[in-house]
Chain A
């Protein structure tokens, strides 16, 4: 008897037109393919060198200029020019400088439950929070997907993460994913899908799911998948896309490689120490570590909810005089809403620097590179050596609340102390 399918098996079977199980190779239709400005130029060259001229789906092919936005150098400006001209020639979609971080824009405007999404950026997995089989690849793979409208996958085995209970005050989705990565390790899910289920997800809005799915790749996973349910519908409706909704869930008799149960109410604020994401401890264990720079933003925690959490903590307070506070809303939609709701005003009054929508200092290109031996506490997803522009810098990762509380104290602080 045929056993049921995981979410990964379901989506890849549907998009390849035949039943596919873990371990099979699937040639799947691609619903959305994109690149960003540090991987796009190589994809454009690979596309041209292969002799391709036309895109399979121009309206589902997107070039994002977000990593160096606005550009800090003439070389990157030239890369932007080559991508703009590719967009003009092929008729694909261009999301220009200032129009937001690719993964946030994909979530707001493009990703649909059940889609197959490939991007030349490892955090393409973010859209798994909306029930899309979304994964990162290199420039050549994406160039092929641009031209053929399909790609190949080895259907991954899935690890089921069953969530129960609710977060306590001061504990967030970011703490959950940092905890999980610390528990299974930076290669704990290599080649696998992480699938989330259980009663705990009913209280977890899509913004939280996007944060969790975003970091699936930090455990090595191919994809981090949530089912599509009522909360997915609410999110899509809020961004004016309720027509894109469809329910999606794994079969109850699906086979998983492994099951992990997590009680959300037992979690505490977590921090990843330098230089690997799985180097996690509780925030309280690091109390007192002095922080030179705090970054709130990126594709992990640059959403409206993050601006709200940061503003709530920073209202009537100020950043510590020796701690810089950098805030980067991930998209124009987030920025405008945060202005409208007064969050940005509160943050500026608290001494924050507000960056334009984009990746900001996350990958060490500009806007907040670290000095020698400086310590940064960031809401981003990576703390690798050299990540923020200096191999002699030290990056700690945490939730937005931990970041905001630490900016006030000038040292790593458990946010429950100020909430």
Chain B
């Protein structure tokens, strides 16, 4: 069970909102880069987020660049999962590759600051603040097998190859 607070963002949060190109010189200094996570969407997010919290987006979360640094710094900030109505393809793949769950669900009923409990195996998100329970779409099997190993590198180390 994952527990934490919701940080609510709008639609179309791009990888430039998460880690803008102007900070490209920090990409080999991940702890420093992580201090700027989501800066262009909410300058205070990095100070406020606590381990276990959730990033909750609208539609098309993570659109834009292929920079894996985007899910990586979200994970480094202690975020336990990203919840969104829909998510851009490369961001989705990168997040799973780094062991960060991305859950597709109707986030409209989640408000900023709500306390959430996520049951990964049951596929449900309980909103402790509103009392509502919503479900999320199952993560596709092949991606789930990568996520369950903790990401693509642990997966490849274990299996030596892709296993269908």
Number of A residues with CB within 8 Å of any CB on chain B:
57
Chain A residue nearest in CB terms to B72: A42
Chain A residues with Cβ below 8 Å from B94 are 137-138, 140-141
The answer, among B88, B93, B161, for a CB contact under 8 Å with A137, is B93
Which positions 37-73 of chain B face chain A at CB distance < 8 Å?
Answer: 40, 59-60, 63-69, 72
Q: Are A140 and B14 in contact (CB under 8 A)?
A: no
The smallest beta-carbon distance between B19 and chain A, in angstroms, is 10
The residue from B16, B27, B164 contacting A38, defined by CB atoms under 8 A apart: B27
| 0/1 interface trace, chain B 133-164, chain A, CB 8 Å (1 if under) | 00000001010000000011100110001101
**Tally of contact residues, B, Cβ under 8 A:** 42
Cβ-defined contact, A49 with B24, below 8 A:
no
Across-interface contacts of A384 in B (CB, < 8 A) = 14, 16-17, 64
Contact of A50 with B68 in the complex, beta carbons under 8 Å: no
Chain A 363-407 against B: per-residue CB contact (8 Å), 1 yes, 0 no? 111000100000000000010111101110000000000000000
Q: Are B162 and A41 in contact (CB-based, < 8 A)?
A: no
User: Quick one: given A222-B89, A385-B40, are A121 and B66 in contact (CB under 8 Å)?
Assistant: yes
Contacts of A84 in B (CB 8 A): none
B24 contacts A363, C-beta separation under 8 Å: yes
Question: CB distance B24 to A387 under 8 Å?
Answer: no
B29 CB contacts on chain A under 8 angstroms: 75
CB 8 Å contact bits of A31-42 with B (1 = contact, 0 = none): 000000011011
Query: Roughly how many angstroms separate A163 CA and B65 CA in the complex, as a whole number?
Result: 28
Residues of chain A with a CB closer than 8 A to B14's CB: 384-385
* With A365-B21, A386-B22 as contacts: A138 and B63 at CB distance below 8 Å: no
Per the bound structure, the CA–CA distance linking A367 and B98 in Å amounts to: 33
Distance in angstroms from A133 CB to nearest chain B CB is 14
> Contact: B152 with A187, CB < 8 Å?
no
Cβ of A316 within 8 Å of any chain B Cβ, yes or no, is no
Contact of A154 among B66, B67, B98, B142 (CB under 8 A): B142
**Restricting to A121-178, which residues have a CB under 8 Å from any CB of B?**
121-122, 124, 136-141, 143-144, 147-148, 150-152, 154
Q: B-contacting residues of A (Cβ < 8 Å)?
A: 25, 27, 38-39, 41-42, 46, 49-51, 67-68, 72-73, 75-76, 78-79, 82, 119-122, 124, 136-141, 143-144, 147-148, 150-152, 154, 186-187, 190-191, 220, 222, 276, 363-365, 369, 382, 384-387, 389-391
